[in-house]
Every structure is written in structure tokens, then in C-alpha cells.
Structure 1
Amino acid sequence: MKTLMKYTPKQIDEISHGKPSEIAAFITGLLLYIEKLENHIVTLETRVKVLERQVGLTSTNSSKPPSSDGLRKPKSLRETGGKKGAPKGNDGHTLEMIDQPDEIKWHKVKVCPHCETSLTDVRSEGYARRQVFDLPFPRTVVTEHRVEKKCCPHCSAHQQASFPENVIAPAQYRDGWTAWCTYLNVFHYLPLERISQLFQDLTGYRPSEATLLNRLASVSKKIEPLNIYIQEQLVKSPVLHADETGLRIEGKTQWLHVVSNSEWTLYHVHKNRGKIAIDERGCLPIYRGTLVHDCWASYFHADYSFTHALCGAHLLRECQGIIDYDHHQWATDMKNLLQEACYHKKKWGHDGKPIENAIVLDWEQRYDRILEQGEKEWITNSKPDAPTKRGRKKKSKAANLGERLRIHKSTVLRFIRDEHVPFDNNLAERDIRMMKVKQKVSGTFRKQEGAEEFARIRGFISTLRKQNRDIFSSLTSVVHGQFSFE
């Protein structure tokens, strides 16, 4: 049938005065054309909705990291009208005077400024003091090793003493350079070229990047036994956190896995994201406690014996995405329920009193009612997203989230019954985030070995920070082979 725009008023008038069969055929074609337009409009609206969702996704309504928000102004979580400055409970860092200064400079009173009388010989009544903290310019200490040469008076053989085992070249850098290189590269993420430049500016000596890489490799080798000890401690923990993120190595995307708790951190680099990588690390396959994660399917494999707990923060963001773009009431109700439970969980940790069982049962019943009501909202529209798509129809994000919440109810709400299980997986996300910072500052890894060495050392440094140990002195002890967690 012609489109309506191709019919002239005269043609339409002729059809209206024609035979009933002609009028019926025209109306039938018109209805078919309208139905076709309606289907096309629905398809276009669906596509627009999908594109709007993709463009509007941020770290507040999806699993995207905050770094992907770009220049968008983030929504402040602070309440207006509150006090400025450090948050409540922050101890702060104030420079305080010490009892034993390295140097004392006296400033004497020689003349009275009021009457100009000399006070040189007047006895002092005391003093006031102020201290100035300064950082001296670094100085390189060069130690020359000399081995004695002698000739045996009995057999006339020439003999020479042995150099220390760690002195293997005519001129070489000592352990202090190794500790500084590790500290600057792995903790502060300085690229090797900038570390070389920094050393040259401060000392006049510029070690090559190859030298620095060899130093990092030596530290990684010494830390390897410590990582085994870290893994042993993690397996004993009642609750662990796990996460993974992409890592660019040799121009390809590989995966960085982390398993951690509040005291220990273990990183692992692998080309796979799933079960193969998890099994190769060897920590989770023998773990029997509770693992907090982001619902990655590989963690639910039947071979693993640990209990699951899902990250509530991820669920809140996904609910917010449904609220923003689908306007479902059930997502708002579920978000309110999770936030209410999170508040009581924090109060539980502060007061030391568990949540009353009656409240827990009420939350679980509300949880079920919300999903029952939500099913009416997330039922997928019978019309296809696009006329060219075939096969099984893709579910909406709301339907996927709702079914996931239904299947993993006990896993989602585990934090309200177990005092050791937190509401979110933020601990693992913080551990992962620092490795993403490394890529932004220093770029990608050029070799697989370099990425593995960096991950091994970074896990050790993360553990040091969690245990409030001094990082530089600990690295120095590692270099000297003297460090031990025990």
C-alpha cells in the first residue's frame, strides 16, 4: 500500500465514494500501515532508551569505576550546613616538637629595647623554644672494598683475599638504591625513567632502567616466600574479599586478581579471569570461610567450599540505574531496604549489639514482597528490541537484577546475620583501585614478568600499610634478607 503522504486529496475523495470493498481494503491497509509505524516507533524508543542508559551510566548507578566519570561533577555526599574540615574521628597529623633535637641554636638578649641597657652579663631566667624541621640534601656514600694481595714466602704463590659475596662488579649500586627504587616505583608508581632522573638530580648518579628492573626483580624474588606466608594467613581468615580487573600487559588485556582482608593482601596476574586463574593462585580452592565478591559467576563453581556474600554497594548502584532509566518502584523499595539494613549493620559494629531477630525477619519478608511486586514491573515487553534480532530474547536489566536478587537472597542478606560479614566489597575494590592508578601514572606493562613482580611486591606493601608497618624500613629489611612478619 502507498504511504498516506503519497495519496492526494483527490485520490482519497475518490476512494471514499467508491465501492464498499475498495473502502474496506483502504482501511485495512491503513491499519496495517499504522501497526507497522507503531512497531517501528517502539523499536526506535527502545534503542533511544538503551543509548541514553549507556551515556548516562556513572559510578553512582552502575559498576563503572569513578575514574570513568570524566569531568562530570560528582554528587557530594556531604550534608549542607555541616562543619568544615576533617571528618569526625580523624586524628589528623600535627607537627609536634621533639625532646632531643639534632642541633640547638641560642639567640641571646644583648640589649634592653626599652632603655638600651646592656644585658650581656645579666643571668638568664629561662628560655622559650621553637623547632624547625628540615630535610637535608641527600648524599651518596661510596664504600671502596680493597682485598689484600700477598705472595707466599714458602711456595711463591700469589694469593688474594675474597670480595664480599654481594660485591660482584668494579662499581655497583648497593642495597639502599634497591630499597629506594622499589619504594618509588611500587608504592608511589613513578616510572623507571623518572626514578633515574630523580636519582640524577639528587645524587648526580643515574642508574639505567635495566639496572632498576634487575633490582625490582631481586626484591620480588625475596618477597615470594613472604607471599606464601600471606596466603597461609588469608586461608585462616573467617571473611575474605575478592575482586578482579583488567591489566594491560604486552599490549593485551590480562587480569589482576586480589584476595584480601583487613590485614593481608595477595595479588595474582593471569591471562584468564575465571576459574583457571582462581585455581592457579591456590588460595580460594582450599578456603572454607566466607568470601565477599561482586557475583562473578566463577566464584560459584561447585568445586569451591567457601560461603558467599554479595557486595551491597554494587546492588545499590544497580538499583539506582533501574530507578534512573526504568523508573521502577521496586528498585526504590529495594534500595531503601538495603540502605536501612546497612545503617543497622554499622550501628551493630559500633555498639557491639546484634540486630534483633524480629527486625531481621521483617527485612527478609519485605525483601520477598518487593521482588514479588517487582516482577510485575520487570516483565519483558513482548515486542522485540529490533526486527532483525533472532534467537532467545534478551532480558532487561531490571529483570536480570530482580532474578539475581531472588536466587541469591541468603547471599545478599548474609551481612545482617553474620557480624564478621561487611555490607560491601569496598576493601577489595580499594586494593584493586591502586593498581589502576599505577597504569594511569606509569603506563602498561611491557613484559609478563614485570607485571608479576610488581603484583607480588605491591601485595607485600599493601599488607605493610594495613598493619601500620613502616614501608621503607621494611623494604630495606627485605633487601637485606632480614624481614619477617613474625
Structure 2
Amino acid sequence: DRNRAKESKIPTGKKAGGQNGHIGKTLKKVDDPDEIKEIEADRDLLPPGRYKHVGFESRQVFDIDLSRVVTEYRAQVLEDQKGNRYIASFPEGVAGAVQYGTGVKAQSVYMSQFQMIPYNRVQDYFADQVFMPVSDGSIFNFNKEAYELLAGFEERVKTELAASDVLHADETGINMGGKGHWLHLASNTSWTYFYPHEKRGMTAMIDMGVLPNFKGILCHDHWKPYYTLNCTHALCNAHHLRELARAFEQDSQQWAQKMKTLLETINTKVNDAGGVLEVKESDKYRFEYRALIKEAELECPLPDIPKKKGKRGRIKRSKSRNLLERLRDFEDDVLRFMDNKPVPFSNNQGGNDIRMTKVQQ
């Protein structure tokens, strides 16, 4: 989205790579290898003597074998005494003299739609790796076939998401045929639903058919149309940390630095406690939060009301003031992660789910 304001990243202070406590992924031996090759000891290299076989020491090599597999179906033709011919039935789906199999279609759709690889590069893969020509028209048709087969699955995704306890929502600008659209997202830990639409607001949410039916806790970044939905809300504190950092660095708001530290501290305490704080500790941090808001009101007050008559309406606030009022007026939504175990600190899952479409574009 060319019009989206760039947000500064917050330095984490962590080194690149896996962090302490990170569970790594490594190869492990399998009990049923596909092929076993026994290596006999070269007795000529051993000291003189008599030896007996006592077993093997094993090492396993994991590899892949990319190859084209062409299956030719030959339907038997029978002819009776009168010259009438009878041909055996081909398997269902084998209709053409030459055609692509389901493995090719699945691989193509996976690379195109999940890995976000452009059509021409998918063509290169098939040509270079398995010496199989696949046109961009065929790749499109594979995607279309998958799309039509997933109609029932799509309805199940929407039903599962609408019935979940916690849901993440986000939206981002995308280019479709040279025109600007919005890609809407609803997701949880098990299900993800993308929905492109010309509009960004409530009309798109209604057409999407998930959020209007949702009654759980919705995690989002305080985009106002979400608050027209009849559900409980939880605000993304990753956004708040970035905005607080900006308020401190660019507007010299001391309260913002303190609030950032407080939110980070609460998040650490919640994680250490297993996802939810005890009432006494929660009340303590809520008291500190409100005290900081009062301090912020003094440091970042409302702008002066202009003396000139004429123009009416809401007086324009600074970004820091708008952030302060949001933290003050939506305290419960900001701190909901303290007292409700399924509620995360941020809406990072929604952002992560939608990010790959930006990479593809």
C-alpha cells in the first residue's frame, strides 16, 4: 500500500538467530528408511585374526528425488464375432489422450497460492526440475479448479472463525488488475480467511460474512469500524509500543517512555504467570497504568480552544494526544491480556498472517 505511513521498528536488543530457550528443529532417525545399503568391512585393512559379525552402526541421509512419473493406461479392447468392439473403462478423471495428474496440480497450486511464487517461476520449476512443460494458462486453471473445490471448505472456515473465542482482524492495501483493493483478514490459531474487496469499511466486513456473526474477543489495531461490531475488543499493544516510542523520540513525551516500559513489564509478568495475572497483581498494575495516564494529562494537555469564531468541530490533536486519549478511554481493551488468558498482548498473528501477500505483491 503506497499510501500507508511507514512505522519505525522498535529495537529489541536481541541477537540475530535463535534465542535462548528456542526449540530447534533437527533431523532425527526414522525406524523405516526407504532404502538400506549395507557396507561390508574391508578385512584386508584389519589386523590378522578371526572376526565374527556382531551388528551394524547406522547413519541416515535424508534426500529428495524429483522425477517425472508418466503413467500410461491401456484399456483393453474386445471384439465379438460380429465385429462389435468393447473398450474397458478408464479410471475416473482420465479423460484426455495426455493430461496432468493431481500431483502436478497440487504442487502447482501449493507453489502459486501458498508460497506466493509467480506463474513464470512455477513454469521454470517444472521445466528445470522434472522436464515438464506447464503453461501459465494451465497454472491458472489448476488454481481455478482448486478454488471451486474449496467452496464448501470456505464456508466451514467462516463458521469456525465466527464461533471462536478469540479472533484476529487486519486489512491491507493490495493491487488487483491495476486497481487498489483491500485484503481483509480474520484468523485464529487454527483457521485463516482472506477476503479481497473494493472497500475497507463495514460494507466489506458484511460481505466477508465472518465478523458480523462473531461474539467473542476481537484483537485489532483500533481501526474505528471494528468498534461497530457487537463483540468484545482487545487492542494490539505492539502498535501501542511503536506509537509510544514515536511520542518519546519525536515529541519528547516522558510519560510515553514510562508507559512503554510498564506495558512491556506487564507482558513479561503475564508470560511468567502462565498467561493471566492474579487479581491482586492485576489491580496493582492497573493502578500504575491510571497514575501514568494522569501524569500524561499534565504533560500532554488538550490543545487550547481557538478564540476565533466560525469553524466548529473537534479541535485537532497531536499524535501523542490522540494516543493518550485512546489509552485512557479504552483501558479495558488495552489491558485485557492481563486478565483473560486466551487474549494475546498484540495482534501480531493477524499481521503475520497477512504479511506474505505483501511479499508476493
Q: TM-score, normalised by structure 2?
A: 0.87
Q: 1:259-296 CA distances to partner (integer Å, 9 max, x unpaired)? A: 11111111111111110111111111111111111001
Contact 1:112 1:118 in 2 (8 A): no
Is contact 1:244-1:258 (8 Å) kept? yes
**Are 1:152 and 1:158, in contact at CA under 8 Å, matched by a contact in 2?**
no
Larger relative helix fraction: 1
Shift of the alpha carbon at 1:197?
1.6
Highest RCO, 1 vs 2 (Cα 8 Å, sep ≥ 6): 1
Cα distance change on mapping 1:158 and 1:59 into 2, 3 Å: same
RMSD: 2.8
Specify which of 344, 349, 353 is matched with residue 427 of structure 1: 349
Residue of structure 2 in register with 1:99 after alignment: 31
Report the structure number with the largest CA radius of gyration: 1
**Deviation digits for residues 106-160 of structure 1, max 9, x if unmatched?**
3333445465x487xx53343323233332341322323436364684xx76665
In structure 2, C-alpha distance between the alignment counterparts of 1:322 and 1:293, rounded to whole Å: 21
Q: 2:22 aligns with which of 90, 103, 107?
A: 90
CA distance 1:267–1:170, shift in 2 (3 Å)? same
Assess, with a 3 A threshold, how the Cα gap between structure 1 residues 101 and 309 changes in structure 2: closer, same or farther: closer
After TM superposition, list the pairs within 5 Å mapping 1:3-402 onto structure 2: 57-60=7-10, 75-78=11-14, 86-113=18-45, 117=48, 122-146=51-75, 148=77, 150=79, 153=82, 163-301=90-228, 304-349=229-274, 354-379=276-301, 394-402=316-324
Q: 1:226 to 1:114 in 2, by over 3 A?
A: closer
* Aligned 8 A contact 1:140 1:203 in 2: no
Offset of residue 299 of structure 1: 0.6
Q: State the distance in 1 between where 2:101 and 2:151 align.
A: 21
Q: Do 1:240 and 1:291's aligned partners in 2 also have CA atoms closer than 8 Å? A: yes
CA distance in 1, matches of 2:49, 2:289: 86
Query: Contact (CA 8 Å) 1:345, 1:423: kept in 2 or not?
Result: no
Distance in 2 between the 1:165 and 1:113 partners?
Answer: 60
Give how far 1:356 is off.
3.0
Q: Report SS of the residue matched to 2:104.
A: helix
Cα offset, 1:161, TM superposition = 5.4
The answer for unaligned runs of 5 or more in structure 1 is 1-53, 61-74, 385-389, 440-486
Deviations 1:339-382 (A, max 9, x none): 222122212326xxx42323323333333332222223323665
Distance in 2, matches of 1:107 and 1:158, equals 56
TM-score, with length taken from structure 1: 0.66
Gap change, CA 1:224 and 1:325, over 3 Å in 2: same
- 1:413 — aligned with what? 335
SS of aligned partner of 2:137:
helix
> 5+ residue gaps in structure 2?
none
Q: Which amino acid aligns with 1:333?
A: K
Please give the per-residue CA displacement for 1:302-355, whole angstroms capped at 9, x wherever unaligned. Answer: xx32111111111111111000011112212221221222122212326xxx42
CA distance in 2, matches of 1:332, 1:343: 17
Identity %, equivalent residues: 34
Q: For 1:102 and 1:368, how far apart are their aligned partners in 2?
A: 64
Give secondary structure in 2 for the equivalent of 1:413: helix
Check 1:114–1:367 CA distance in 2 against 1; reply closer, same or farther (3 A cut).
Answer: closer
Contact 2:169-2:220 at 8 Å conserved across structures: yes
Give the CA deviation at 1:425. Answer: 0.7
Q: CA deviation at 1:88?
A: 3.6
For 1:232 and 1:204, how far apart are their aligned partners in 2? 42
State whether residues 287 and 306 of structure 1, in contact with CA within 8 Å, keep that contact through their aligned partners in structure 2.
Answer: yes
- Per-residue CA shift, 1:178-217, capped at 9, x if unaligned? 1110121122222111111211122222110001110111
Q: Does the 8 Å CA contact 2:183/2:194 hold for their aligned counterparts?
A: yes
- 1:270 maps to amino acid: H
The one-letter code sitting in structure 1 at the alignment partner of 2:353 is: D
The secondary structure found in structure 2 opposite 1:376 is helix
